[in-house]
């Protein structure tokens, strides 16, 4: 199986996707791949999310994770659908325990030193910083990385193409999660060429900030 953290570090980007219609999964996967990013975090916010994960997981070389996971049962369902990693908006000891049982990487949401320590106690060193924009953004991540030098962050929430460089320049940031890459309304409108273009623009910014 693909090393999820290595993959994220190499691409520096994670498209965070809310998708309403599972019938759009194939076109979405192709749009992301055509842009150069065969990856997506599919949030479990819609009834068809697991179907989308299942379809994307069948694409050779495509790395798909399950986001907005808040209960242990969702871990089981996502892993059964083919998710390579699990993302939570916060830290849950029960979710962390189930991920350990399932041997699937967990990226829990943290925004305070206390939450980071809770995740560290569970043996987790890669954490989501969410909601990034509303929680102080890049300056807060820089401040938190000082007392926690071994933690790698995946900031998500409120990040745009314009603010992307602020996060990419922080050594503690493993990758940046972006909802702007494949927004719900653009998927619903089936504007998949627009998604491909957004991926290319974001990867160009990554290249400029290496």
> Which residues participate in catalysis according to the annotation?
41, 128
Residues 10-34 as b or e (16 or more Cβ within 10 Å = b): ebbbbbbbbbbebebbeebbebbbb
Phi, psi of 153, deg, nearest 5: -110, 145
> How much is the CA Rg of the chain, to the nearest whole Å?
16
Contact 76, 98 (CB under 8 A): yes
The Cα–Cα gap between 180 and 133 comes to 13
The Cα–Cα gap between 204 and 183 comes to 19
- List the beta strands (DSSP E) in 118-184: 126-129, 152-155, 176-178
Q: How distant, in Å, are the alpha carbons of 31, 53, 65, 116 from that of 71?
A: 31, 17, 15, 19
């Amino acid at each position: 199986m693909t090393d999820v953290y290595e993959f994220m570090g190499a691409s520096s980007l994670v498209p965070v996707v809310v998708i309403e219609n599972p019938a759009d999964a194939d076109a979405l996967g192709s749009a992301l791949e055509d842009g150069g990013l065969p990856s997506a975090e599919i949030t479990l916010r819609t009834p068809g999310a697991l179907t989308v994960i299942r379809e994307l997981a069948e694409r050779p070389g495509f790395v798909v994770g399950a986001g907005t996971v808040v209960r242990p049962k969702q871990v089981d369902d996502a892993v059964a659908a083919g998710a390579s990693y699990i993302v939570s908006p916060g830290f849950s000891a029960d979710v962390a325990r189930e991920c350990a049982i399932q041997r699937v990487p967990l990226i829990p949401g943290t925004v305070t030193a206390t939450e980071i320590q809770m995740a560290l106690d569970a043996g987790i060193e890669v954490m989501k910083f969410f909601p990034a924009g509303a929680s102080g953004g890049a300056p807060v991540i820089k401040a938190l990385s000082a007392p926690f030098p071994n933690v790698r962050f995946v900031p998500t929430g409120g990040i745009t193409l314009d603010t992307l460089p602020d996060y990419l320049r922080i050594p503690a940031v493993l990758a940046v999660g972006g909802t702007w890459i494949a927004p719900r309304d653009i998927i619903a409108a089936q504007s998949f060429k627009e998604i491909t273009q957004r991926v290319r623009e974001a990867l160009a910014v990554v290249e400029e900030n290496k």
